[in-house]
Structures are given as C-alpha cells and as structure tokens.
Amino acid sequence: MDRARSISIHTATHLKYLIGVLAALHALGGFGVMILRHVRGELMSRILESIGLALIVVFIIQITILEFIPF
C-alpha cells in the first residue's frame, strides 16, 4: 500500500468515528468500575453512573455531528 492510500484510509473513512465511539464506551466502563470499587452508597452510585452515561451520550452526539454533518 502506498502512502497516499494509507493517508486516505486514515482520514477519509469513518475509522475516526468508530475509534471515538469505542473510546467513549471504554471510558464509561472504566468509570463504572471505579464507581463499583469506591462508592458505597447505592443512590450515589446510581447518580454518578447516570452522570457518566449522560456525558458519554453528549460526547457521542458531538462526534456524530462532526463526522456526518458537513459544514
């Protein structure tokens, strides 16, 4: 594979979007594990998990807009 084709694959495809979504899901999982290990209260755990989920949803919406809606 030549250099031009390699650059095309890494910049023109939706690979960046997929990596962003996977990184967001990985972060959500890590945050969930930290909550399970360090937070004792059931209510506080649910609140923190909800906040983490909301932040990840906002992040995924942002990268979806940036990737698929042309400016």
The answer to whether position 2 is within a domain reads no
- Is the pTM of the predicted complex or chain greater than 0.75? yes
- Overall domain count for the chain: 1
The answer to whether position 24 is within a domain reads yes
Q: Are 39 and 45 in contact (CB under 8 A)?
A: yes
Quick one: how far is CA 27 from the chain centroid? 7
Tell me the pLDDT band of 71, cut-offs 50, 70 and 90: confident
The answer to whether position 5 is within a domain reads no
The predicted pLDDT at position 55 comes to: 97
> Which range of residues forms the domain containing residue 36?
13-68
Residue 64 confidence (pLDDT) above 90: yes
Residue 57 confidence (pLDDT) above 90: yes
Q: What region, left, alpha or beta, does residue 52 occupy, with left being phi > 0 and alpha being psi -120 to 50 degrees?
A: alpha
Tally Cβ neighbours within 10 Å of residue 67: 14
Joined together, the tokens standing for residue 57 give 């949803």
The answer to whether position 33 is within a domain reads yes
Tally Cβ neighbours within 10 Å of residue 60: 16
Tens-place pLDDT, residues 7-54? 877 777 688 889 999 999 999 999 999 999 999 999 999 999 999 999
